[in-house]
Structure 1
């Protein structure tokens, strides 16, 4: 007998969870926000609607993480983001220099699961927000498809890092979608409707050479006429993954609700492209190749942008405007794309760089009308134009870190996000961020709790930098080249450099600095000198007769001349770099930025480093040693090169470098923080690209920390991370600490950016 259907409604299993902060979105912004908050001591629930973490960086999409370093293709030296995102990038480069996205998935899960204050909910999608009043979220409802459970998530604070802004949307937070007019913010780069007001989605694929012939039969939905893609001739058999970022679509559609439609269109293109590569006969090298992977969800660029108390705009970026509430920075180009994407006749992107990094204010990181809602990732309060630069993942992660620390301050003081400003706690937020390695341009860490500030830093040696000796390495002057030197105030020293003229010719040199102190765009010429060379090897003396009023980097530029070889060295020193007037098409760098007159963007040259094992320093000696690497730098409140190296660097000839911090009376120490040089100039692309080294050459690998009696308090071998935190089970009482730091190699002397000591953990 057939049983009657039960008439009573069945309920899903329901679970109510409480925390201090609920973060929705497990991309890099959500990850770094949650780790920062958890380490600061508050309870976090991290909600991710996918089976893995990482968002666009994950194995589901496979885009490399990038930010202000911009593939080393702009003038933002030493600009890789600090804090948790730096820790992740350094860790990935160490464990995964091959750029395997599956290993990155593992690493991100590992980082989150190590934090006892984080509860992670994967495969869980938020679908409803309940409010206790018009301006305050009370709880979120979410559903996990894998365990058929409904979650009720309660907290005093919420953070939307979901990309499309699901929490902000459901809670009634003010948002924008599409481009502003030129008139609204006076942005000269604001696009017209013909170019389009939204950036589209991209879908990637990986190919693999099997070593034997492989057939490919396309699906029925594959794009049949590849010429519908104006750039179809740009496809080749070897290029895959996020190097095909321009396979983009959807800018004319609703990039939230039409995502599935956009995905199908991108699948049509991808399978049509692979059919063209395999079966057109134009790519014989593809005979043994197969599709290894095709993305199943598209990587999104743009959808909703939510309104905070301040909307960042083009002028903030290009003019590098300062904000009293700065908590982060960006440095990617203003990178806008035609709305028609892969089907557009226009170039795939329209990238314009600023002369340096720009501040991001705290007022852009919370909702202006929902009192307890933080914003992180690509949905922060920016105009469409400014969004072109703030949307990249390392920048998204960086603002996420600021939100995580702000949440900790809010919980401690029973505040909502905006109240940090009105309660005079902005300096506290900035200080706590900088203590974790979050560099904020223009700010210096002043921490009265740091016992180092009451001590004296003394070193067994410090490099008296006079340049580099020539060691027999010659390179042709095939492009204009420059050596960056950190120089203290006063008269610029004279230089002497080894050159080899292949025939009688002219050597043209120039001395430049940046017109804005702290930038690395050499746009201000101080002097030029020309020299007549006879064929053969010779040493050229150069004196520019210029004076510096404040410490800065100077650029000794040598103009392109293939008839000349310059002497180089294998030696490297923290905060010293060679740069070249090169082309990097990946970031629209053609050696010089020449924008349209009405764009509101500056014209300037690009001077960028080469990746190792290239990028050698010039063999140039200076007449006067530069006293810029002293021990006192470890307490100056800056953890990376800016207007100077900001590091103690030992003399390379010192066989056993020791940095000592001493006090007039014994101090109780519970924690020590050390910041080493993991090369902030290296972008550390997380996937697809491989890196020839997994540890940065400047990083101190082995060190010991001793007390005033010579007892070893801590010993580390094979260090590769930027920030090392030493916590003692019982506080140590000592009148000095000694850090014995081994040189990383024979070519690189030991260097330390910062040492900080605290009584309490």
Structure 2
């Protein structure tokens, strides 16, 4: 298994000067003032870097600014790592870079190539000491850049191989040999969506020392203000009636999908609840990308700050993969599946005849608001083109705005999926504004998500793999824990959308298959081959068909609660997650049937 090992400590916030070669690398995400640009880390597992993006919904955003010290002044060649994200034939992501208040001769982001590459900006005079860099967005349509590189040698262009570029970044950023040790924990939870947040709170309230690591500035995942999906599934029909209490605490009501009011999704509420827990060490903006293993046991994880590039090391007894993508499990070598199993393999009537790579897609929701004054919106020749024959006549999005369906890999092509969604959103909105002014002249885009709301990717395999028959037959296993209530809800491309955009669909349909409340076995919540790995959320051990029911966020939150309680039982008895089932199941079931009051916390035995 390939392991990627990088450690870092960033000098001066953004740069290191290599004195002998007179080279300087500036990481875009480490600009001291990003202005109206946003930090995008969604493709970190492909690029091994975050980047800056100008997400202005058609209006240029405020400049990003930083300073960089040069040990020696003189003439330097400059390259900018960027791309043209919608080259049809050229896209809208144009931006300008200025050095010491002097713009470079050429702008960037309109090369006609969708590949990340180093683009030459000419030769510039740099002062000894502090120099200023300014990135000016010219369009508001998602221009982006990864890094800026200076060299006194004209042909000294960095590599474009993402893995080789890791070593280059390490050299140029003066990355140290060791990440900063955060400490040792009973439970390290990676992923701060509903599942991970509930797991952290549950474990902490049972007395565990917990680290909660989230790679965005907010908690909640798909239920955060960055993505804005409402919570589904029920917590009031539980076979184990006490599960769901923490989900209810975090639930900020039902604002629907894509509500333009960010406050309705309760970001601050979630943060306050977590920060009130003395046993939780919260680490936002930290992307876990490396594990340290001891045989089949995870010893520690390494996370990188998505802005500063500082790295942190978290050592733990137990780990929980709540990333959705199964990232931690994948890095550790956990067995996983991705795509659909065949009907012959699973015996499920809803499975396809042949296995394939089909997965449910990713949504980027959006909303408009009616204003007192009319507004315009530019033509978008680079976007998906709509017509009187086919357009989507609505002032906001719901779940149907979805791209994936096996046409894109939801992990390794996450950037392409998001960009395809943006081309659909902006193209349709341009059509509505310019061709239907009688209805939309006073409407203005109020919000468009740039963080993709994923549904399906890897599923980590446990000692039990939940199936369609388990759900529809209501099988009650002795370790039945979380009660699920959502339908078997498997999305597919909308037929009308496929007619006009075959192979590039961005609008979904579904057929809800009703189920009675059923329980998910505890054995679906830990890895079958990694000895100390739990999982909660959409990456638990199910078939593709069963996943269609288990994936909604209230259900995922209850999985997190159950994992926190199970980790307590394991820690108390010095047991593995599997041994909680084989040796301590009654103790675990007693807790989830009637968990202890948060005002009467148990005391773990001291090592």
Asked if the contact 1:249/1:266 (under 8 Å) is kept, the reply is no
Aligned to 1:140: 301
> Do structure 1's residue 359 and structure 2's residue 519 form an aligned pair?
yes
Distance 1:50 1:361 in 2: 30
Asked if the contact 2:341/2:355 (under 8 Å) is kept, the reply is no
Of the three residues 270, 275, 287, the one matched with 1:108 is: 270
> Do structure 1's residue 410 and structure 2's residue 426 form an aligned pair?
no
Of the three residues 383, 388, 399, the one matched with 2:548 is: 388
Distance 1:169 1:176 in 2: 10
Shift of 1:77: 13
Of the three residues 2, 5, 20, the one matched with 1:4 is: 20
Shift of 1:4: 3.3
Aligned to 2:358: 197
Count of residues in Structure 1 that have an aligned counterpart in Structure 2: 424
Aligned to 1:236: 393
Distance 1:6 1:727 in 2: 61
> Do structure 1's residue 216 and structure 2's residue 365 form an aligned pair?
no
Aligned to 1:483: none
Shift of 1:78: 13
Aligned with 1:155: secondary structure? Answer: strand
Shift of 1:64: 0.6
Gaps of 5+ in 2: 1-17, 24-169, 500-504, 602-607
Shift of 1:79: 9.6
Aligned to 1:376: 536
The structure-2 alpha-carbon separation of the partners of 1:339 and 1:68, relative to structure 1 and needing over 3 Å to count, comes to same
Asked if the contact 2:243/2:562 (under 8 Å) is kept, the reply is no
Distance 2:546 2:539 in 1: 12
The structure-2 alpha-carbon separation of the partners of 1:80 and 1:392, relative to structure 1 and needing over 3 Å to count, comes to farther
Distance 2:595 2:260 in 1: 26
> Do structure 1's residue 337 and structure 2's residue 491 form an aligned pair?
yes
Shift of 1:427: 2.0
The structure-2 alpha-carbon separation of the partners of 1:415 and 1:236, relative to structure 1 and needing over 3 Å to count, comes to same
Distance 2:539 2:447 in 1: 29
Aligned to 1:15: 180
Distance 1:22 1:252 in 2: 34
Distance 1:320 1:92 in 2: 29
Distance 1:431 1:341 in 2: 48
Distance 1:254 1:390 in 2: 21
Q: Whose Rg is larger?
A: 1
Asked if the contact 1:24/1:47 (under 8 Å) is kept, the reply is yes
Aligned with 1:4: secondary structure? Answer: coil
Shift of 1:225: 3.2
Alignment of 1:67-216 (within 5 A): 67-68=233-234, 82-89=244-251, 92=253, 100-103=261-264, 104-133=266-295, 135-191=296-352, 197-216=358-377
> Do structure 1's residue 65 and structure 2's residue 217 form an aligned pair?
no
> Do structure 1's residue 297 and structure 2's residue 461 form an aligned pair?
no
Distance 1:93 1:204 in 2: 16
The structure-2 alpha-carbon separation of the partners of 1:214 and 1:192, relative to structure 1 and needing over 3 Å to count, comes to farther
Distance 1:124 1:342 in 2: 41
Aligned with 1:84: secondary structure? Answer: helix
Aligned to 1:276: 431
Asked if the contact 2:479/2:523 (under 8 Å) is kept, the reply is yes
Asked if the contact 1:68/1:81 (under 8 Å) is kept, the reply is no
Aligned to 2:509: 349
Alignment of 1:750-761 (within 5 A): none
Aligned with 1:268: secondary structure? Answer: helix
Shift of 1:342: 8.2
Distance 1:250 1:265 in 2: 13
Distance 1:64 1:80 in 2: 22
Distance 1:88 1:363 in 2: 26
Distance 2:354 2:423 in 1: 26
How far does the alpha carbon of each residue in 1:160-190 deviate from its partner, in whole angstroms, 9 at most, with x for none?
Answer: 0001111100110000011011111210001
The structure-2 alpha-carbon separation of the partners of 1:32 and 1:726, relative to structure 1 and needing over 3 Å to count, comes to closer
How far does the alpha carbon of each residue in 1:231-254 deviate from its partner, in whole angstroms, 9 at most, with x for none?
Answer: x45x3343x24x243443353221
Aligned to 1:254: 409
Asked if the contact 2:242/2:595 (under 8 Å) is kept, the reply is no
Shift of 1:193: 6.5
The structure-2 alpha-carbon separation of the partners of 1:219 and 1:81, relative to structure 1 and needing over 3 Å to count, comes to farther
Aligned to 1:468: none
The structure-2 alpha-carbon separation of the partners of 1:265 and 1:140, relative to structure 1 and needing over 3 Å to count, comes to same
Alignment of 1:295-694 (within 5 A): 295-338=449-492, 343-345=497-499, 348-423=508-583, 425-436=584-595
The structure-2 alpha-carbon separation of the partners of 1:226 and 1:153, relative to structure 1 and needing over 3 Å to count, comes to farther
Distance 1:288 1:194 in 2: 48
Shift of 1:389: 0.5
Distance 1:427 1:381 in 2: 22
Distance 2:568 2:355 in 1: 45
Shift of 1:328: 0.5
How far does the alpha carbon of each residue in 1:86-114 deviate from its partner, in whole angstroms, 9 at most, with x for none?
Answer: 2222x5579xxx99433511111111111
The structure-2 alpha-carbon separation of the partners of 1:727 and 1:203, relative to structure 1 and needing over 3 Å to count, comes to same
Gaps of 5+ in 1: 438-672, 674-724, 729-761
> Do structure 1's residue 55 and structure 2's residue 217 form an aligned pair?
no
Distance 1:348 1:147 in 2: 38
Shift of 1:366: 0.4
